[in-house]
A and B are shown apart, each in its own frame.
Chain A
Amino acid sequence: AQSVTQLGSHVSVSEGALVLLRCNYSSSVPPYLFWYVQYPNQGLQLLLKYTTGATLVKGINGFEAEFKKSETSFHLTKPSAHMSDAAEYFCAVTFTAGTALIFGKGTTLSVSS
């Protein structure tokens, strides 16, 4: 069955430190991968997505992610955390047209000064 696993429900970093949020997927067909961010009392905002082509994807707010097929991973990184990055982050996957988004359980990122 197709699924998404986010390792670590809560990640804490200091301001200026590297942010690494992990996402692994399970699929027998090529995936389309997404990272969304959710701030309190708001909906989800797309950070970046991988469809085809370049495996290193750059998104908004300085985030990027690399698709590694051999590791079935799509980890999200940001070189230097900012206080405003504190939020919940969701990795999601979909497949061919007509398939719904499947979300991971989410990772809450805390940033301390």
Chain B
Amino acid sequence: KAGVTQTPRYLIKTRGQQVTLSCSPISGHRSVSWYQQTPGQGLQFLFEYFSETQRNKGNFPGRFSGRQFSNSRSEMNVSTLELGDSALYLCASSEAPSGGGNEQFFGPGTRLTVL
């Protein structure tokens, strides 16, 4: 099976712009979670989608949003980019919703740089 894929791998934007990141989960996985990784804050949970419904949301401003399509692919959008949004954004997929010991499989991430 192919792993989790994320596109693009690298992205450079300027402040005020918006960006959309894409994640394709492992075939058969219906849960997709998004994480932000920065040197200062580490790995922080953004949100999780399961069967096109947002099940859980982390403590991020409303500028961060996401959605999931019927084929389980997910997109994450960040509007009005700020310098502090520069980070590695990781997507993870699993067969079942997170929690309860379910394993999440991570993609390689999208490196976003905001200038």
Contacts and interface: CB of A to CB of B under 8 A. Distances in A.
Contacts of B102: 97
A99 B98 contact: yes
A43 B103 contact: no
B43 interface: yes
A94 B101 contact: yes
Contact of B45 (A45, A46, A52, A100): A100
Sorting the interface of chain A by its residue count into under 10, 10 to 19, 20 to 34 or 35 or more gives 20 to 34
Interface stretch (B11-19, B67-75, B105-113): B105-113
A94 B99 contact: yes
Nearest to B10: A41
Sorting the interface of chain B by its residue count into under 10, 10 to 19, 20 to 34 or 35 or more gives 20 to 34
B101 A98 contact: no
A92 B92 CA distance: 14
Contact of A95 (B45, B92, B99, B109): B99
Contacts of B4: 43
A44 B101 contact: no
Contacts of B61: none
Interface of B: 4, 33, 35, 42-45, 48, 55-56, 58, 90, 92, 96-109
